[in-house]
Structure 1
């Protein structure tokens, strides 16, 4: 468990890098037709920002040693990757490596998300659900 906390602490600085706004704008431009076919309420920028903020916020609870104060809904969102949670963007999943800054941000947040879930599942957190390992693929 201490090893995971150490890894998460190291990733904390990575999560503070500038948000990949230029890449997101480029993605929206490159996939304009696909985005136009989505409902008007869909906002790729805001959805990705929310996904990142949820992970960073959860990390702050963990590193602040107040795991018991993490809102359950915040933990629930950690069960899925960005493309699982926001499946309307699945057309992008195989293409994001073409957008370096976005891809790096995505990979860093995904690794953080997986380590957070691993830590929370091993930390006697009172989950009222089935085992986390049956819900996610921890690598």
Structure 2
């Protein structure tokens, strides 16, 4: 039964792969930074941090789909256990508002779904 579930999850991961190749939601990240301007520090780089986090998920997906999950670096695996807002806690102030930014929200949910499928697949 576990193998069937793992095969189904693998198929879900294959299917979701294409949806990760959308343009980065710059308009929404710019709007978030503008809407919460007083909350951001000069050192915060939301776009770069999101890109780093999402590329970790996309890269992890690549390892799995190529049958090389066992070669994935431990730090990369560790990040999969944490949401963006857990890794980058400095942005927690807008976590409850993400649905107000549709492009960002759609991408965020897509990557979260992928992240959770990857975790389930690797169990």
Tell me the TM-score normalised to structure 2 length: 0.93
Higher RCO by CA contacts (8 Å cutoff, separation 6 or greater): 2
Shift in Å, 1:41: 2.8
| Over 6 Å off, 4+ runs | none
Taking the aligned partners of 2:119 and 2:43, their CA distance within structure 1 comes to 29
The reply to whether residue 24 of structure 1 matches residue 29 of structure 2 is yes
Separation in 1, partners of 2:74, 2:86:
19
Q: Residue 55 of structure 2 is aligned with which of 47, 53, 57?
A: 53
**42, 61, 64: which one aligns with 1:62:** 64
In structure 1, what is the Cα distance between the partners aligned to 2:99 and 2:69? 33
Please provide the CA RMSD for this pair: 0.8
Query: How many residues align structurally?
Result: 118
Structure 1 unmatched runs, 5+: 122-139
Q: Which structure has more helix as a fraction of its residues? A: 2
1:3 has 2:5 as partner: no
The Cα of 1:45 is off from its aligned counterpart by 0.8
